[in-house]
């Protein structure tokens, strides 16, 4: 099947049913493979801890810039959760947001309110956790170069760990042992 450019830009799991099903499957995989997902889980935990450090910088920066912004990025951005986001949330045994932030690439995020995002930073899509607008970036680069370097290092490291976490998760769930377990369950054994 050939997809249009617009379809490729649309978020996965746009309907409530597909969102719930994707999360049900990932949750089941995490539960069934818990004994083999230790390394992936430790990577997810280390990403959480790294983000916790980075969020302090970002919260401070947002307090300085966002309340005065004439064009808040959250109103024009179309963020969504990808597979890596969901694996991160499930491996950390976090509550899953009720749905994707947007259903199409042109939609406005359903979690934005006049006072900001209703999702805690840890429960947001990755793009929302690390994104800095041009004003924030210039603020850090020009006035706080040390913080800029530190936050850049932290988020670069967390990005690499997230990829490694996803790769390890996929390695475990696609191993012959995991696939055999799922096949046996489907066969009713």
The 10s digit of each residue's pLDDT in 40-96 is: 999 999 999 999 988 888 888 888 888 888 888 888 888 999 999 999 999 999 999
pLDDT at 168 over 90: yes
Q: Determine what percent of the chain is predicted with pLDDT higher than 90.
A: 51
- Total tally of structural domains belonging to the chain: 1
The Cα–Cα gap between 137 and 144 comes to 10
More confident call, 171 vs 188: 171
What pLDDT sits at residue 1? 44
Count of helix runs (H) and strand runs (E) in the chain: 9, 2
Reduced DSSP (H G I as helix, E B as strand, rest coil) percent helix, strand, coil of the chain, to 5: 65, 0, 30
What pLDDT sits at residue 64? 83
Full residue range of the structural domain in which residue 110 is found? 5-186
CB atoms < 10 A from the CB of 134, how many?
8
What pLDDT sits at residue 53? 87
State pLDDT tens for residues 115-127: 788 999 999 999 9
């Amino acid at each position: 099947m050939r997809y249009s450019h617009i379809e490729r830009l649309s978020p996965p799991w746009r309907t409530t049913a597909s969102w719930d099903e994707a999360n049900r499957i990932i949750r089941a995989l995490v539960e069934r493979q818990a004994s083999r997902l230790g390394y992936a889980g430790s990577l997810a935990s280390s990403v959480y801890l790294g983000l916790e450090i980075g969020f302090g910088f970002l919260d401070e920066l947002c307090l300085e810039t966002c309340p005065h912004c004439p064009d808040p990025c959250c109103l024009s951005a179309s963020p969504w959760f990808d597979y890596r986001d969901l694996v991160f949330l499930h491996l950390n045994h976090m509550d899953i947001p009720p749905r994707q932030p947007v259903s199409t690439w042109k939609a406005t995020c359903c979690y934005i309110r006049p006072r900001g995002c209703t999702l805690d930073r840890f429960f947001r899509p990755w793009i929302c956790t690390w994104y800095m607008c041009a004003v924030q970036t210039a603020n850090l680069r020009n006035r706080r170069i040390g913080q800029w370097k530190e936050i850049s290092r932290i988020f670069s490291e967390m990005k690499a760990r997230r990829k490694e976490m996803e790769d390890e998760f996929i390695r475990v769930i696609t191993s012959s042992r995991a696939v055999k377990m799922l096949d046996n369950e489907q066969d009713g054994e």
